Structure 1
Amino acid sequence: MKEQFTTTVRVCGKGDTKAKAFADALNHVQGTVMKSTPHILLRIEPQDISVVQARVAVRKEAFLFFFLRRERQNFSVELDVTVQVTSVNLDKVDFVAQ
């Protein structure tokens, strides 16, 4: 009934800081795992994280083209996260009619 398996999911995240980009990517792990399995999930434990791609986009801004010049940065990451999943397989549960 209770099963454990290990899987790897690829998630992406964006943010205006490096920490926000990683946090956004890691927030998508649960939804990605839930879409990939029909079982009821009890626990999702990250085992390993590898960075597939990390990018920064720098954009220059200025008020009225001359004043208050600044650079804005947007970070994006793509991660491969290896997770160990504990789930309940409903196919192995015997339901009794009353």
Structure 2
Amino acid sequence: MKEQFTTTVRVKGKGEAKARAFADALSHVQAAVMKASPHILLRIEPQDVEVIHAREAVRKEAFLFFFLRRERRTFSVELDVTVSVTALNLDKVEFVTSQ
């Protein structure tokens, strides 16, 4: 009934800081695992994280094209996260019909 397996999911995240981009990507791990597995998930435990892409985009902006110049940075990451999943397999549960 209770099963344990390992799977790898690919997630993406964006943010105005490096830590925010990683946190955004890691927050999508649970949804990606739930989408890929038909079982009821009990525990998702990250085992390994591999960075596929890490990008920084710099955009220059100014008020009225001349005043208050500044650079805005946006970070984006794409990660492969290997997770150990403990789940309930509902196919192995026997339901008894009562009348």
Q: Same fold (TM over 0.5)?
A: yes
Q: Which residue pairs with 1:27 in the alignment?
A: 27
SS at match of 2:96: coil
For 2:47, the aligned partner's letter is: Q
- How big is the shift at 1:85? 0.2
Instruction: Specify the SS of the correspondent of 2:21.
Output: helix
Under a length normalisation based on structure 2, what TM-score does the superposition of the two structures give? 0.98
Aligned-partner Cα distance in 2 for 1:35–1:95:
25
Q: What does the per-residue CA deviation read over 1:61-80, in whole Å, with 9 as the maximum and x for residues that have no partner?
A: 10111111000000000000
Distance 1:4 1:15 in 2: 33
Distance in 2, matches of 1:35 and 1:9, equals 10
2:72 is equivalent to residue 72 of structure 1: yes
Aligned residues: CA RMSD: 0.3
- Structure 2: state its 5+ residue gaps: none
Query: After the TM superposition, which segments of 4 or more aligned residues of structure 1 sit over 4 Å from their partners?
Result: none
Counterpart residue number, 1:89: 89
Q: Scaled by the length of structure 1, what TM-score is found?
A: 0.99
Q: Deviations over 1:30-76 (max 9, x none)?
A: 00000001000000000000100000000001011111100000000
| Separation of aligned partners in 2, 1:65 and 1:94 | 69
* CA–CA separation in structure 2 for the residues paired with 1:95 and 1:62: 66
